[in-house]
Amino acid sequence: MSENPTSTAPPPQPTGDGAARPEEPTSSGPKTSSVGLHGITESARYSVAEMGPRRSLHALLAMNQVDGFDCPSCAWADPSPEHRKTAEFCENGAKAVAWEATRKRVGPEFFAAHPIAELRRRDGHWLEAQGRLTEPLHLAPGATHYAPISWKAAFALTAERLRALPDPDRAVFYTSGRTSNEAAFLYQLLARRLGTNNLPDCSNMCHESSGAALAETIGVGKGVVTLADLTDHADLIIIVGQNPGTCHPRMLTALEQAKRRGARIIAANPLPEAGFGRFHNPQSARGLAGPGTQLTDRYLPVRINGDLALFAGLNRALLDREDAHPGTVLDHDFIRRYCDGFEACATAWRALDWQRIETMSGLSRRQIEEVAADAARAGSTVVCWAMGLTQHRNAVATIREIVDFLLLRGNIGRPGAGPAPIRGHSNVQGDRTMGIWEKMPDAFLDRLRDEFGFDPPRDHGLDTVDSIRAMRDGRIDVFFALGGNFVAATPDTGVTEAAMANCALTVHVATKLNRSHLCHGREALLLPCLGRTERDQQAGGEQFVTVEDTMAMVHASRGRLLPGSPHLLSEVAIIAGLGYELFGDDLGWRTMRDDYAVIRRHIEHVVPGFHAFEQRARQPGGFMLPRGPHDSRTFHTATGKARFTVNPPTAVEVPAGHLLLTTVRSHDQFNTTVYGPDDRYRGIKGGRRVVLLNQEDLHDHRLHEGDLVDLVSVHPDGERRAPGFRAVRYPVPRGCAAAYYPETNVLVPLDSTAETSNTPASKSIVIRLESSSAPAPEGAAASEGDLQADHRAPAPTARQ
């Protein structure tokens, strides 16, 4: 394998989860418009630099097309086949494809030249920028370098370690949201055949709170809105805790369609994001050369963690309007026929104290009542949200309160209405549908048993946070990750990295090198797989896989590029290979590897909603999964009705002199992957170690823009420190702050999680600022060396 000629070069300008040299980022303030010509030139510049012009054209024109591959980045829904454009992707989708389909390679020579200890000092951007992995690699116990290993030996080694476990629950099988339906189904089958439900996934860290709240209140743990509901029907769209311009950019096109049809759009978010402003649609002359479209009609600068209070206030205001004009605001017929629990909620809302609502939300009563007036006028309302809502201690209660808001006016089960949690990774929703969950219901496990003739384990397994705890405490021997960058995605970085080192064997299936591969167990395997963009040739012919988008559309994805190396295997082939090594051909592992249609037949028998799967997967655009609340106002809850729930408003208490920090992603970033050092939409250039602060907070802390500060998080178990952040003046609400993930994961205590969902509370971290003389830390030490948990110094308690 030829090594990337740039792979031994010194790291570029520091980016990612560490800094090779002190950063000097500059700030020009948030932008008020998005995309336009700049979006096109950035996409082209990035694609050509990574892939070259021909490969760029070939890849990008196949992306999100009916006979092409699904974007490996976010989970935004594709338009119906007849409405797709020739270029059906956004700037960040182009970056994701270029990142995967790059011409750069890291082969065995690279690993021979770079010991693990040296690679650990590199930042995350540099590691991934070296290129695609080309061959399976093994890190022997005590070795300093990864070295090549054959696939046969890698399967044998993994199987031997798994077979030797005294208890299958001493293994953990983690999944990232890029995994296809077919690979995910096979993966959960492998884990359960082994005898464990330890199937943590990235969903545990993002929309678990949405799933918990929606399953309880409307009986399905996912959104119940279609793309057409947004574009063609909704009168009012409320976007909460979501940054569509960066995290789901093609949503802007859908919002523009809604806007031009006359819908009202309201955004509630602590940061005024560019995507809320004027959208310059690159597919239209009006967008490119004209004024573009102003997307939002109202922007509410809600305080961090103030969303529960906001929606409680909205519900109170709707009730007040109904009391003033009976029969004109609430949908009494819907509430009577389809819901329960309304009276208890009405009593609680009437008792709310507006002053507390204002303090907690950071919004005035008048601002909230104006939104209630918009909602009362709207025939149909959609509420969209993302991780700005889900990663708080009170996240589940907040989402339940949003469901209350929708139920009050019958906004579920009719066109243009409903809850819409917007998923962040391309098949994170599908993976859960396929059974990647530590607590799948018995009905699913029964069908799995009937289909395959073995009894799956029934005890619930470990989610992500509990897996880290178990690894930390020496209760896990084998950690297997199907994609992702576990140590960069998870909280309490130092604890997580130490937990990984506690395992006997860590195995990562990956396309590129990342930090998780360097925070290994006593022995490690790095198994390179095909990317979404690449052709998947098996004994049964060329294969396609399927994915489920955020609107529950399931469709095919066919790679179009030649594999990055002849030694790559598909994720399906890797799992099936390991299954065969472990169990022989008891479940037909080889047949499933050779022909993915066989897997789809099993899925059809086990997973509800997948009848005639093969046939419907092959039809252009795929098919939509049934969702009772959307299709027929059927609610599979404990009472068979949609459930109003009482959610007393809470907000994180911030001691005097402290701030509430939210983690955010930059525009040059997708999840843990950092494409570059800039955040164009927020006007930040040349570095990521910045903390965004309100002007008055800067003044109160006697700081000036550009001053270097340490961020110190306070938690009952001690303090955590992230040193060397530049203060940037920014329009965040008073008392709030924002800084980039994953650099600030170090500040999130493992035990700080959402109630019920156990999702890390990464969006509301109590911090204080300390002036720092230290330059930004060297290399990847940003995640390891930054951790200075001081358990001798108990911190002020952040109470709910």
For residues 248 and 555, which CB has a smaller minimum distance to ligand SF4 in the complex? 248
* Contact stretch for ligand SF4 (CB under 6 A) within 86-94, 138-146, 300-308, 476-484: 86-94
Does 316 engage in binding with ligand SF4 (CB under 6 A)? no
CA distances, 694 to each of 414, 613, 699, 791 (Å): 41, 52, 9, 30
Give the tokens for residue 629.
């609340």
For residues 92 and 391, which CB has a smaller minimum distance to ligand SF4 in the complex? 92
Does 90 engage in binding with ligand SF4 (CB under 6 A)? yes
Q: State which of positions 485-524 bind ligand SF4 (CB under 6 A).
A: none
Shortest Cβ 60–ligand SF4 spacing (Å): 10
Shortest Cβ 166–ligand SF4 spacing (Å): 43
Shortest Cβ 597–ligand SF4 spacing (Å): 26
Chain position carrying tokens 């395959």: 452
Does 101 engage in binding with ligand SF4 (CB under 6 A)? no
Shortest Cβ 618–ligand SF4 spacing (Å): 21
Shortest Cβ 80–ligand SF4 spacing (Å): 15
CA 579 – CA 719 distance, rounded (Å):
44
* Contact stretch for ligand SF4 (CB under 6 A) within 88-96, 215-223, 234-242, 725-733: 88-96
* Contact stretch for ligand SF4 (CB under 6 A) within 243-251, 286-294, 645-653, 756-764: 243-251
Contact between 363 and 310 (Cβ < 8 Å): yes
Helices (H), ranges, 453-568: 464-472, 486-489, 493-501
- For residues 475, 463, 183 and 483, what is the CA-based torsion angle, rounded to 10 degrees? -80
Shortest Cβ 424–ligand SF4 spacing (Å): 9
Binding-residue pattern over the window 59 to 78 for ligand SF4, x denoting contact by CB under 6 A: -----x------x-xx-x--
| Adjacent-strand bridge partners of 202 | none
Shortest Cβ 563–ligand SF4 spacing (Å): 21
The 10 Å Cβ neighbour count of residue 30 is: 19
HEC-encoded secondary structure of 106-148: ECHHHHHHCCHHHHCCCCHHHHHHCCEECCCEEECCCCCCCEE
Does 249 engage in binding with ligand SF4 (CB under 6 A)? yes
For residues 57 and 539, which CB has a smaller minimum distance to ligand SF4 in the complex? 57
Does 610 engage in binding with ligand SF4 (CB under 6 A)? no
Residue 566: phi, psi to the nearest 5?
-70, -10
CA 109 – CA 7 distance, rounded (Å):
10
Does 647 engage in binding with ligand SF4 (CB under 6 A)? no
For residues 550 and 694, which CB has a smaller minimum distance to ligand SF4 in the complex? 550
Shortest Cβ 247–ligand SF4 spacing (Å): 8
Pairing of strands 137-139, 523-528: antiparallel
CA 313 – CA 581 distance, rounded (Å):
58
CA 14 – CA 25 distance, rounded (Å):
11
Does 303 engage in binding with ligand SF4 (CB under 6 A)? no
Does 532 engage in binding with ligand SF4 (CB under 6 A)? no
Pairing of strands 264-268, 236-240: parallel
Does 246 engage in binding with ligand SF4 (CB under 6 A)? no
Shortest Cβ 252–ligand SF4 spacing (Å): 9
For residues 93 and 760, which CB has a smaller minimum distance to ligand SF4 in the complex? 93
CA 686 – CA 689 distance, rounded (Å):
10
Does 79 engage in binding with ligand SF4 (CB under 6 A)? no
For residues 71 and 545, which CB has a smaller minimum distance to ligand SF4 in the complex? 71
CA distances, 605 to each of 450, 579, 674 (Å): 9, 20, 40
Contacts of 54 (CB under 8 A, 6+ apart): none
Shortest Cβ 298–ligand SF4 spacing (Å): 24
For residues 430 and 629, which CB has a smaller minimum distance to ligand SF4 in the complex? 430
Does 399 engage in binding with ligand SF4 (CB under 6 A)? no
Size of the site for ligand SF4 (CB under 6 A): 12
Does 371 engage in binding with ligand SF4 (CB under 6 A)? no
Shortest Cβ 208–ligand SF4 spacing (Å): 21
Shortest Cβ 88–ligand SF4 spacing (Å): 7
One-letter amino acid at 641 equals K
Decide: residue 511, CB within 10 A, 0-12 exposed, 13-18 middle, 19+ buried.
buried
For residues 179 and 753, which CB has a smaller minimum distance to ligand SF4 in the complex? 179
For residues 267 and 746, which CB has a smaller minimum distance to ligand SF4 in the complex? 267
Interface residue with ligand SF4 among 248, 600, 643, 667 (CB under 6 A) is: 248
Does 435 engage in binding with ligand SF4 (CB under 6 A)? no
Interface residue with ligand SF4 among 14, 68, 79, 93 (CB under 6 A) is: 93
Q: State which of positions 157-216 bind ligand SF4 (CB under 6 A).
A: none
Does 92 engage in binding with ligand SF4 (CB under 6 A)? yes
HEC-encoded secondary structure of 401-457: HHHHHHHHCCCCCCCCCEEEECCCCCCHHHHHHCCCCCCCCHHHHHHHHHHHCCCCC
CA 762 – CA 757 distance, rounded (Å):
13
Contacts of 115 (CB under 8 A, 6+ apart): 144, 145
Which CB contacts under 8 angstroms, 24+ apart, belong to 540-544? 540/594, 540/595, 540/596, 540/597, 541/595, 543/570, 543/572, 543/595, 543/596, 544/596, 544/617
Shortest Cβ 484–ligand SF4 spacing (Å): 17
Shortest Cβ 45–ligand SF4 spacing (Å): 17
Interface residue with ligand SF4 among 46, 89, 452, 589 (CB under 6 A) is: 89
- What's the first-to-final CA gap in the chain, in angstroms? 55
For residues 92 and 650, which CB has a smaller minimum distance to ligand SF4 in the complex? 92
Does 250 engage in binding with ligand SF4 (CB under 6 A)? yes
* CB closest to ligand SF4, residue no: 93
- Concatenating the DSSP letter of every residue in 685-708 gives ES-S-EEEE-HHHHHHTT--TT-E
For residues 123 and 678, which CB has a smaller minimum distance to ligand SF4 in the complex? 678
Give the tokens for residue 8.
């031994």
Give the tokens for residue 659.
């701030």
Question: Interface residues with ligand SF4 (CB under 6 A)?
Answer: 64, 71, 73-74, 76, 89-90, 92-93, 248-250
